[in-house]
Every structure is written in C-alpha cells, then in structure tokens.
Amino acid sequence: MKASRMTAFLCLAVLMAAGNLFAGGRQNQGGGKIKIEYFSLKRETAEIMDGLIADFEREYSNIDIEQTNVPDPARILQTRMSSGDTPEVFSSWPNDTWRTQVKEGYVMDLSGFPAVNRIRDDARQYCQVDGRDYIIPVSYNTMGIFYNKDIFAKYGLSPPTDFAGLLRVCETLKANGVTPFLITGKGLEAPRQDFDVYQLTISDWEKFRDDVVARKVDMTKPYGGQIRELAGRIISLLAYAQDDVLGSERDQLLNDFAAGKGAMHINGSWSIPVIQNANPGMNFSMFPFPGVTADQTMVNVYPGDFALCISSESSHVNEARAFLEFLVRPQIALTYAEKDGSISCIKGVDYVAPQLQEQKTFIDTGRHTVYPTAYWNMAQLDALGAAVQQLYMDKNIDGFLRNLQADLNSN
C-alpha cells in the first residue's frame, strides 16, 4: 500500500521523467508499469482509497495508481485544469463548478461505459449533463447533528424533533457543565455547509435556492422574513457553543467531539470514519437538524459525495476505465461504504452505517432533497460562508441579510 502524496504536481513530473508514453493503454517504454494519477477531493478517505488501490494493483499488476491529496483540493484541481494539467482520474462533486468544467471540455464523456449502468437511477439522473454521463457517483452524503449517545443517556436526553426541543436539550447539558454544541467558524467551507442544514428549516428554501441561481435574491420576499427568523435561531445556538467559534476549525472540532468535549456537532456523513479513527469505541449517531416544528424537519442528501471522472485528455483511457469499473463492483463498493459509513449509489449495495439510520428513514420516506447550494457557483458559496462567519462574529441580522442579497446577486 503506498502513502497518499501531498503535492499536486508530483505526478506530472514523474510522467515527464518517464519518457515517451503510448496512448491506448499500453505500458511505458522499457516495460515499466503504466502510471495513473488519482487526484482526490476527499482527503478524509485517503486511507480507505490506499487500501482499495492496493487491491486494484494486485489484480492489475501493470498499473500503478498514484493518489494525490492536497489542501483546498477543489481550487487546486481548477488551477490544474486551467494550466493544461488535468489529472488522469479525479474525484469531483457534481455541482455547478463541475458542470462548468464539463461544458468547457475537461471531463471525458462516459456514456455507454458499463460502469454507469451500476448507478442507482436517481443518482445517475441527477449527475447527468444534457442526458450524458460524465461522472460515476459512488456514494451519497447527508448532513445533520452528530451527538454523543452516552452523554445523552447520562442526562436522560433523546434526539429532539423540533427546534424548541433542541434548545431544551442544550439547556440541560449546559446546566450540567457539558458544552452542548461544537460549531465551526473558521474557514468558509464549514459555515456555508452548516447553512445548507439550517436553511432547510425555512418553508420557502426552494424559492431562495432558485433566486440565488438566477441572481435575483430579494429579501423583501417571504423567504427574507424566514431567513431573518432563521438567523435568530442560529444566533441562539451560539450561546451553547464552545469558546472561540470563529477560531475553531472542523478537523479540531471532530477530534474534540470524539474526545467527549462537546455533546453535538453539525457535520456530514463523510466524517464518520474520522470520528471512529479518533475514538474507535465512541458511541455516537446523527439526527436531522430540527425544524421549528417536527413536520418541517427534512434532510439533505447528495448523490456524488464520492464520485469519479476521467480527464478528456487521458493518455491511458483503458486503464483509467478499469480503475473506475473496479471501484463500482458491488463488493468493492460495499467495502467502501462499510469503511466510509456512506450510503451507496451503487445498485445492490444496501449497507447503511448505524449512525445514519435515522437519516436513512427520512430519505426512504421522501423527506429529503439535494443540498440547495449544490446549484450555486463557487463564488456564491464563498459569499455564503463569509456571511455566516460574519453573523457568528457580530450577530447582526440586518447586516447578514444585506450581505446575502448583495453578494449572492453579484457573483
């Protein structure tokens, strides 16, 4: 098993140094292995992928998969594409940025590739662009509130079903010297992802989502008043959070949650293995972020938490396709789901992590939607993250609404 690389451009140097390469899947001159770079947007799955890569290489002894993991991978990937250095195989998220990359010709059309027939219909349909397949979604993700089941049991608490109940849980925990919430305020990604959870508790979230896409956000519309009330609820949670929310980054808070330093933490299913690695014996689960009333509660789900593409300029298409085909085999996809804790997009893989049972119930009963921000561009996502950060800092609801309207419409 090889270690994940921590530089974005090492593979290019290796390929250049290797001399002339032949297209069409033949080996490098001199009888060496064919080297394929796999660029990952999911750093938290590096160890899982190292194991699956090792399994693949035992079966395909002529192929050498080099995994690349870097900080801020989405931006690095975009930069590499723009400079003509698109990785041979890369993970991506089927969002607005990715669809732009498809339309600009960076991503290979996989339509007709047998692996796409293994994808569940709803996931495949969401990920298509103009009816064509450019990405292989392997897993769904979902977000909610992780909670320490032992702490809840100690104080006789159950997962709340409405927001007032959530505040009562927080009051009980705080009265007993327990930090109720660990809230991430550092960086832009975590605050805007948390808002993806928050905003489903407003009734007109679809209209708000669509106005962002159209750059026609208007806070005088009904959703503006709903977001105002939501901002008040968000502020109320800060009273139950750890010190220095703005200085707290997600990786540290995951470790703090695993260590029992807080009872609840908003995050996604992708963090289950991180928590388990930090504390293998931890008794934890997830419940949906509650709406004002129980019937307003719903969950986000995203087909493409782990999803794979091939560069349109791939020199080793057969080998790259073999790697994707391997990863969507039901047994391999099951192994990934068991280790990652995710819900699989692959037909015949029904494993669900124990921590996601309640989320799965909401999904199975239709009380779910694709993340609203999956339809927004990167500049809008950054603007959202910055606005939530500012709200955490100054608790100025009027300023929050002004920032959202101005920045989401101008990006």
Domain of 61: which CATH number?
3.40.190.10
Question: Do 170 and 201 fall into the same domain?
Answer: yes
- Asked, for residue 277, whether it belongs to a domain, the answer is yes
Question: Do 190 and 74 fall into the same domain?
Answer: no
* Cα within 13 Å of Cα(226), Cβ side: 18
3-state SS of the chain is CCCCECCCCHHHHHHHHCCCCCCCCCCCCCCCCEEEEEECCCHHHHHHHHHHHHHHHHHCCCEEEEEECCCCHHHHHHHHHHCCCCCCEEECCCCHHHHHHHHCCCECCCCCCHHHHHECHHHHHHHCECCECCCEEEEEEEEEEEEEHHHHHHCCCCCCCCHHHHHHHHHHHHHCCCCCEECCCCCCHHHHHHHHHHHHHCCCHHHHHHHHHHCCCCCCCHHHHHHHHHHHHHHHHHCCECCCCCCCCHHHHHHHHHCCCCCEEEEEHHHHHHHHHHCCCCCEEEECCCCCCHHHCCEEEEEEEEEEEEECCCCCHHHHHHHHHHHCCHHHHHHHHHHHCCEECECCCCCCCHHHHHHHHHHHCCCEEECHHHHCCHHHHHHHHHHHHHHHHHCCHHHHHHHHHHHHHHC
- Asked, for residue 4, whether it belongs to a domain, the answer is no
Question: Do 34 and 89 fall into the same domain?
Answer: yes
Summarize pLDDT for 75-117 with one digit per residue, the tens.
899 999 999 999 999 999 998 889 999 999 999 999 999 999 9
- Asked, for residue 201, whether it belongs to a domain, the answer is yes
- Asked, for residue 157, whether it belongs to a domain, the answer is yes
Nearest one of 14, 269, 291, 40 to 162, comparing CA atoms: 291
Question: Do 133 and 151 fall into the same domain?
Answer: no
**Mean pLDDT across the chain:** 90
Question: Do 264 and 332 fall into the same domain?
Answer: no
Question: Do 104 and 243 fall into the same domain?
Answer: no
Number of domains in the chain: 2
Residue span of the structural domain in which 117 resides: 10-140+303-355
Question: Do 20 and 100 fall into the same domain?
Answer: yes
Residue at which a domain ends, from 339, 355, 371: 355
Give the integer Cα–Cα distance in Å for 287 and 146. Answer: 7
Give the integer Cα–Cα distance in Å for 113 and 115. Answer: 6
Is the whole-model pTM more than 0.85? no
Question: Do 123 and 211 fall into the same domain?
Answer: no
- Asked, for residue 1, whether it belongs to a domain, the answer is no
Enumerate residue ranges in the chain where pLDDT < 50: 1-30
Question: Do 257 and 320 fall into the same domain?
Answer: no
- Asked, for residue 172, whether it belongs to a domain, the answer is yes
AA identity, residue 315: S
Q: Which residues make Cβ contacts (< 8 Å) with residue 278, sequence separation at least 6? A: 254, 255, 258, 259
Instruction: Quote the crossing angle between the two packed helices 397-410 and 222-238, to the nearest 10°.
Output: 120
Give the residue carrying structure tokens 């009734």: 203
Output the CA–CA distances (angstroms, integers) from residue 196 to 227, 360, 370, 372, in the order listed: 12, 18, 10, 7
Question: Do 133 and 265 fall into the same domain?
Answer: no
**pLDDT for position 10:** 38
- Asked, for residue 5, whether it belongs to a domain, the answer is no
**pLDDT for position 20:** 33
**pLDDT for position 16:** 35
Question: Do 350 and 379 fall into the same domain?
Answer: no
- Asked, for residue 59, whether it belongs to a domain, the answer is yes
Question: Do 398 and 249 fall into the same domain?
Answer: yes
Summarize pLDDT for 177-210 with one digit per residue, the tens.
999 999 999 999 999 999 999 999 999 999 999 9
**pLDDT for position 31:** 55
**pLDDT for position 23:** 34
Largest CA distance in the chain: 70
User: Which two three-digit tokens encode residue 401?
Assistant: 């609404």
